[in-house]
Amino acid sequence: MSGKGRLVLYVGPMFAGKSSHLIKAASAHERVLALKPGFDTRDGAELVSRDGSHFAARSVRRWPSHSEDYSHIVLDEVQFMVSPHYEGDIVAELQSARLRGATVTVGGLDSDYRQEPFEIVSRLMQFADEIIHLEARCHVCNQPAQWTAKTHETGHLLETGDQELYEARCDEHWCLPEVP
């Protein structure tokens, strides 16, 4: 494999369908290297969407060997692929896969629960050939939501969780969590 590949990035808040799109992208090919961060232990060795779809994936804390054997790479939750949870520079590794000709499809949160950008995702945006911004539905009013709110403060910026801890929110209903 050689020549210019392609980096496609799905970003948005939680519940926006990022995993669903990645699973569809992975399922469209016979041979795919699907990766998820070792930090996210919620769903075992699978990419899982809340719409019920799933796809077998490798849980990694560093870039896998033999990745060059794959022309399609799919990776979810890239915001977790940072030190000390990930050893290496995921942006450089994905860019290198793209440059050797792979089609790389990545999903991640563009901003954290404080509405601050995840720096690793912002860096990746610079190299993306296509960025798809997805929206969820606000948990309060059901209007389009581009933010994630945390329902109570735990003191952790990176913390796996679902609806018990996070909600999609629109501009009007986003707020910082109450500090206990």
Ligand X SMILES: Cc1cn([C@H]2C[C@H](O)[C@@H](COP(=O)(O)O)O2)c(=O)[nH]c1=O
Q: What is the DSSP letter of 6?
A: E
Question: Letter for the amino acid at 70?
Answer: Y
Give the DSSP H or E segment for 99: helix 90-99
Q: Is 167 labeled as catalytic in the residue annotation? A: no
**Which of the choices ligand ADP, ligand X, none does residue 113 contact, using the CB cut-off of 5 to 8 A by kind?**
ligand X
Residue nearest to ligand X (CB): 112
For strands 46-48 and 54-56, give the pairing: antiparallel
Binding residue for ligand X, selected from 11, 18, 60, 91, defined by CB under 6 A? 18
Residue 166 annotated in ligand binding: yes
Which of 101, 89, 69, 78 lies closest to 19, judged by CA? 78
Catalytic residue among 30, 46, 68, 77: 77
Cα separation, 24 vs 18, in Å, equals 10
**Which of the choices ligand ADP, ligand X, none does residue 166 contact, using the CB cut-off of 5 to 8 A by kind?**
ligand X
Q: Per CB under 6 A, does 158 bind ligand X? A: yes
Give ∠ CA 29-135-10 in degrees, rounded to 5: 35
Query: Rounded to the nearest whole angstrom, what is the least distance from the CB of residue 138 to ligand X in the complex?
Result: 14
**Which of the choices ligand ADP, ligand X, none does residue 146 contact, using the CB cut-off of 5 to 8 A by kind?**
none
Q: Per CB under 6 A, does 14 bind ligand X? A: yes
Catalytic (active-site) positions:
77
List binding-site positions for substrate.
Answer: 166
